[in-house]
Amino acid sequence: MYIEKETNASYGFVAPKIEKDADKKIEVVFPTSELVEPELDSNAAEVKVERDTTIVDMGTLGAAASLTLTPGKSLNIGARVVVKAASDGTARALTVKKDANTTIATISGTASTAKVKQFIWTGTTWIMID
């Protein structure tokens, strides 16, 4: 439990009543979030996703690029990644991958426009919410 010192308000987590979890010890990583602005190296970037919410801002792409979303070891199922990528005056595609061999999605670009897509971690892969 956390107590806000100025207002004396307290915040804490309450366990849900889920029948199938009876008599089990369920642990989840505390939810945190971050904004990542990766640098492209040869039109590729990798982001290690370790938080419940990660916003990845790719900036404005000057060429087609790829982004690898590497899950951290204790990533919660249901963790979200929001990816934003803009195209310069030419439409630029962004390929999103789980690893070097697994493509999750290709986001088609539109000239001078930003695209935003969301991905959810299933525990084994990322799925894109369209």
What mean pLDDT value characterizes the chain?
Answer: 93
Query: In the prediction, which pLDDT does 2 show?
Result: 74
With a cut of 80, say whether residue 99 has pLDDT above it: yes
The Cα-based distances of 119 to 57, 88, 116 in angstroms read 14, 24, 10
Q: Which one has a higher pLDDT value, 12 or 63? A: 63
Average pLDDT (61-86) is 96
Assess contact for 129 and 121: CB atoms under 8 A. Answer: no
pTM: 0.86
Average pLDDT (36-57) is 97
CA 87 centroid distance within chain:
20
